[in-house]
Copies of this chain bind each other. A is one copy, B any other.
């Protein structure tokens, strides 16, 4: 029984959250399955949960312990939540990476930046090209999304065909890149699909999705009617949108200037990979500043309110010689991702102070989603008719809703959050193992586990401030009465008007000589006694119990 082959699916990131996608498929005897990895994405930290952290990466301990069993890493598309962790994680996986051209350009850069050989990334053609990876045969089936060359993976296994949707929508006219191809999907479905692992992002959106091709007309009208400078922001990776925006500019006699490193990099990758053709010539910011504002259109980074992006810089004042003013128009051709609302509003308010006309997606004309809405999810279910549907790419509520939808349509729907290993090869799919998976924080150049306490400690500092106390125990093991106190993140003066650090020093000077030798000799006991005094003073003076760190310098005789 134990050497029976089985087909397994294990999400390590992206199932239970939107972001940080990383999924594993395996086939073989239990505990000796050969593995493939689908996507190595990042999530983005915020002040609320991960202050100071640079990136959030999936916890791949499970995979790294089984690195010798990995046959390949497949990247579905070039969004950061699918490819962003490749460079950071590859050193522990060391398997060949497969991606289509546009995606591979980004994957290679990630590898190079991390000091790995970019030639570990193999450029792959679309369906019906096949990559053999141990017991798996994998094909990249083009899907429409908000970035070129996004692909679902068609994974053939000895237990049947598995389709991993990646991020997708149904768009028959996506402006740039491959339209949704019902004929291809009909072929893929023809011999039966064992399991469909499917994007759940928009399962709560009940109206049919809209096509990218619905945007050029309203955006063109907006630009035609604009008086001053026009600035537009969107995700840099949305090459189709960049083209629509740029075309709207040139059609109305405007010269295009791209601002933001990601913006220029994405257009270059689009041209290099061949997916982007006919993009208008652009000018540098220096050249742009010489052009009358009514003949200029900027396409800029920062649609999510990022403080360091071009849109934020423009909202604050002059940036690279360009400055917005009354009568200019700023278009957010983008959705605000939950959590970014305040940052986006900050920029919009700063622009409003300058008298800039702000246009955003609330009107419903200037942005379409890159994910399949519920009716389109259902359309895809109906084409593939899988036996098993496993929702991914969603928070728990999305996974659950999508699984319920699947059940209601006669499929076997399974909710499998990060760490839940599902066996796909039995009579009915079931969770056969559960592996605790956390998240890994890239903090500077250090990798810190989400449960290590490091970041939690930083949050405590932010919430409570910190009092630092330096004590001296002399060569005779006597504690000095004098101690030294420093405050960080606390008011200097208490409610009685006295200096807070001095008050703490005075109260400690009263305490220290009274401590018995047992307390003085024991770091923990000494610290506890000192903390109690510090917290008492602070509670009475500022109504707050700060963090306290005690450093005891024990002088050695000699």
Contacts and interface: CB of A to CB of B under 8 A. Distances in A.
Interface of A: 16, 46-48, 51-52, 204, 338-339, 341-342, 345, 348-353, 355, 358, 362, 395-397, 399-401, 443-446, 448, 452, 454-455, 457-459, 461-466, 468, 470, 472, 480, 482-486, 488-491, 494-495, 538-539, 541-544, 547, 549, 551-553, 555
5 contacts: A48-B48, A204-B362, A455-B489, A461-B489, A470-B551
B446 A494 contact: yes
Contact of A553 (B16, B204, B454, B553): B553
Contacts of A355: 400
B465 A458 contact: yes
A349 B395 contact: yes
B446 A547 contact: no
Contacts of A444: 538-539, 542-544
A438 to B, nearest CB: 15
A51 B489 CA distance: 10
Nearest to A459: B462
Contact of A46 (B48, B454, B490, B544): B48
Nearest to A360: B204
A445 B544 contact: yes
A353 B401 CA distance: 11
A484 B549 CA distance: 12
Contact of A472 (B466, B489, B490, B553): B553
A345 B395 contact: yes
A482 B553 CA distance: 9
Contact of A484 (B351, B352, B489, B551): B551
Nearest to A474: B555
A557 B470 CA distance: 19
A542 B47 CA distance: 20
Contacts of A401: 352
Contact of A463 (B51, B488, B491): B51
A542 B446 contact: yes
Contact of A352 (B397, B455, B494): B397
Contact of A488 (B466, B472, B543, B544): B466
Contact of A462 (B345, B448, B462): B462
Given A348-B397, A468-B468, A552 B445 contact: no
A46 to B, nearest CB: 7
A539 B445 CA distance: 8
Contacts of A470: 470, 484, 551, 553
Contacts of A551: 468, 470, 484-486, 551
Interface centre among A461, A465, A482, A485 (most CB of B within 10 A): A461
Contacts of A51: 47, 459, 462-463
A549 B352 contact: no
A544 B446 contact: yes
A454 B341 contact: no
A345 B398 CA distance: 11
A455 B351 CA distance: 26
Given A47-B462, A52-B489, A341-B341, 4 more contacts: A46-B48, A445-B544, A461-B465, A468-B549
B472 A461 contact: no
A314 to B, nearest CB: 15
A396 B350 CA distance: 8
A444 B446 CA distance: 34
Contacts of A396: 349-350, 352-353
Contacts of A488: 457-458, 461, 466, 547, 549
Nearest to A455: B489
A458 B547 CA distance: 11
A558 to B, nearest CB: 10
B349 A486 contact: no
Contact of A491 (B351, B452, B484, B495): B452
A445 B485 CA distance: 21
Nearest to A485: B551
A483 B495 CA distance: 34
A47 B448 CA distance: 21
Contacts of A482: 553
A402 to B, nearest CB: 11
Interface centre among A468, A494, A549 (most CB of B within 10 A): A468
A557 B494 CA distance: 32
A457 B52 CA distance: 13
Contacts of A552: 484
B549 A445 contact: no
Contacts of A472: 472, 553, 555
Contacts of A466: 461, 466, 488
Nearest to A542: B446
A446 B342 contact: no
A476 to B, nearest CB: 14
